[in-house]
Amino acid sequence: MSNPFFHNIKSNSRLKDVLIIAKDAPPIIGGSCLMLEKLINSSPTQKMTLITTSIKNINEYKYESKISIIRSKKLRFWNESLITQDENKIETLFFRIKFLRELVRISFMFWICLKIIRGRYDVIFSQQVDKWFFIVIFFARFILNKRVVSQAFGEELNQILSKKKNSIGLYHIFLIKAGFLLSDEIVAITENAKSQLVELGINLNKIRVIYPGVNTNLFHPNVDSTKLKKEYDYTHNHILLFVSRIEKRKGQDTAIKVIPELEKKGLNNIKLIIIGNGIDLDYLKSLVKELQLETKVFFLSNISTNELPSYYCLSDIFLYLGRKDLNNNQEDGFGIVCLEANACGKPVIGGNVGGIIEAVVNNQTGIIVNPNNIDEVAENIEYLLKNKAILDQLGRNGLKRAKECFDWDIINKKYWDFILELNNKR
């Protein structure tokens, strides 16, 4: 699909072919995959190649732009859940034995190097830097004189920075750090990720911050949610919404636990809709049963992207109470769903960790809270529900910010302008 943003730069650019290396790609759902999809579909190049993970029983995703897709089972050796999910005994054996696992990973990096030689790519874009990726980055940049751009989300940096400073931890840190050090440029998706890169020892001058975006043509306040309002009896209830992959650090359990606290404050007409799926769904369902909230909490797992805007427009407040996982130091890199809610004119109550504090502007597009403090979360929900003028103003501010700063056309132009600029320095 032609993108008008790039009509003027196509003829002036020598960029002909881009290789994208991505562990995760559509149709897998997630923020990084959404960013990748938008980047590919807005490409000004005539040709692109994507190397990504082969996943069992998955239909090939149709991109709008011309792209060659190479799916490899070897990339699964960076994702234990995919190995165990497919129950391939040989793959599982290779993954469990560290020497064999690392051998597979290293050999795959050299395989990508061969692809780069044969493909004559101008720019290599590494969606994420992981163990041994530095082999490809070094080979492409210093042997073949290609331009290499790496992307940093923040979540992977948290894990690196939390590694114990023993020999194993330092070894792991070195492998990741080398990839970033050897890259021409790095795109960090938040200022928080940029700070983490600097803490890791990366030169500040080679880091550029480009935030994720939102589709304001799809997510907007005028989506019809009449049927949903009738289904959830909106006239007599306040609707709270939580959209995210379901795992404990995302904070859905806090959203559930806050309902009894709101009832103590006289807010008995609260309904919470949780959209998503994940490893801790059974835990959340048991929590709802334990608190006897079966008539107040609703789980929805098969809601398409096109259906989401009607749920945002149904809600009064969007919740995104992400917290830091103390076991592995993981926290949210950003929170695109916060932008989606804002684009639909809804205020966000978000956790004060990671990139969420950049997705939500405190007291302007929502309220930032301590996600571990149920009383604080309850107080802020109560405050907004009892002060509709402020609730509506936060929603309007969020809508304005989403349209003016985060529309995907704006974000994609920043990405490709950056890549084209880098390529033209050759």
Give the residue extent of every domain in the chain. 4-213+407-423, 226-405
d(CA 206, CA 183): 9
* pLDDT value of position 22: 93
- Return the C-alpha torsion angle 75, 81, 85, 86, nearest 10: 20
d(CA 349, CA 342): 11
Instruction: Return the structure tokens found at 203.
Output: 């030169």
Supply angle C-alpha 336, 337, 340, rounded to 5: 95
At a CB cut-off of 8 Å and minimum separation 6, what does 372 contact? 254, 323
* pLDDT value of position 93: 82
* pLDDT value of position 161: 67
Residue type for 271, please?
K
Domain 4-213+407-423 fold is Rossmann fold (3.40.50)
Which element (helix H / strand E) includes 347? none
* pLDDT value of position 252: 97
What is the CATH code for 226-405? 3.40.50.2000
d(CA 367, CA 381): 9
* pLDDT value of position 206: 95
d(CA 208, CA 210): 6
Which element (helix H / strand E) includes 240? strand 238-243
Looking up tokens 């894990």 gives: 159
Q: Do domains 4-213+407-423 and 226-405 have the same CATH topology?
A: yes
Supply angle C-alpha 46, 52, 53, rounded to 5: 155
The model's pTM is: 0.88
Looking up tokens 């809601």 gives: 303
* pLDDT value of position 70: 92
For the chain, 426 residues long, the average pLDDT of each consecutive 10-residue run is: 44 72 83 88 85 77 82 84 68 84 94 93 92 95 95 78 67 88 95 91 95 96 96 95 93 98 96 93 97 97 93 98 82 91 98 95 98 97 97 98 97 93 80
Name the 3-class secondary structure at 185. strand
d(CA 395, CA 316): 10
* pLDDT value of position 266: 95
